[in-house]
Amino acid sequence: MSTKYETRYASSPQAVKKYDTQELRDEFLIPDLMQGDNIKWVYTHYDRYMAGGAMPIAEALSLETIDPLKSEFFLERREMGIINAGGAGTVIADGEEFAMAHKDALYLGKGVKDVVFKSDDSNKPAKFYMNSAPAHTAYPTKHVAKVDANKIELGSLETANHRTVSQMIIGGIVTTCQLQMGMTELKTGSVWNTMPAHVHDRRMEIYYYLDIMDEQAVCHFMGQPQETRHIWMQNHEAVISPPWSIHSGSGTSNYTFIWGMAGENLDYGDMDVAKITDLR
């Protein structure tokens, strides 16, 4: 196995206004997180947030620290959330095994030293999508099965955004320092997510899209409400959303996305809504 990483620096909204399509994709799109028998990380300078993927096939994968962290082990000063976007697998954290079914979540607190990822079936490998943020306190490890998530029904078929939000790593379910994670699943016939669009200047966010059918795609919208841009997304790709940016999307079919965020507060409802008719 190998651990790969890259760094993404913060961009101002003034700079992004001038980006062409390729510059926008280079800055915010994360196209290759799931690599067989490898761990891949993107270290962002938005709240020092990290997004990663671990896809064990022929061998188990061990979580290793990377140079930008300047730490003895990865979670020395960090917390982590994991959601399995693939086949059944297992995460072993300091010797304790957690069975991870498809779309199950796991929270690992600051101080967990040894983390190993395994797939139950190499023909249907697990795809462990990971988010990590700096942590000041050690909170207990906790497994959250999809059925145990806090579920919220939003939208309607008439407005093409009927969806189920599953809050998984969030206050009331898991105690964290600043990390929050969950997923949103769109119903058949619905394609719009996160409408009305909003920004939350106190938190940044990353979206990871999955369940996109073959030959289909999602158009992810970002930017200031009066200066929106778009990025076309494929299955198992992620996109960085700065705190000054909206984060919304529309697909050519229904799909799922995993959301993860961190920043100044843990208030899930803290957002500044932009009226749909005000978007530009």
- 133 membership: H or E segment, kind and range: strand 128-134
Q: Is 243 helix (H, G, I), strand (E, B) or coil?
A: coil
Is 230 assigned a ligand-binding role in the annotation? Answer: no
**Structure tokens of 92?**
């072993």
CA 117 to chain centre: 18
Is 72 assigned a ligand-binding role in the annotation? Answer: no
Please tell me the distance from the alpha carbon of residue 156 to that of residue 40, in angstroms, as a whole number: 37
**Structure tokens of 11?**
């961009």
Long-range interactions of 162-165: CB distance < 8 A, separation 24+:
162/186, 162/187, 162/189, 162/190, 163/187, 163/190, 163/193
Is 205 assigned a ligand-binding role in the annotation? Answer: yes
Is 45 assigned a ligand-binding role in the annotation? Answer: no
Which of 193, 248, 191 minimizes the C-alpha distance to 216? Answer: 191
Binding site membership for Zn(2+): which residues? 198, 200, 205, 247
Binding site membership: which residues? 198, 200, 205, 247
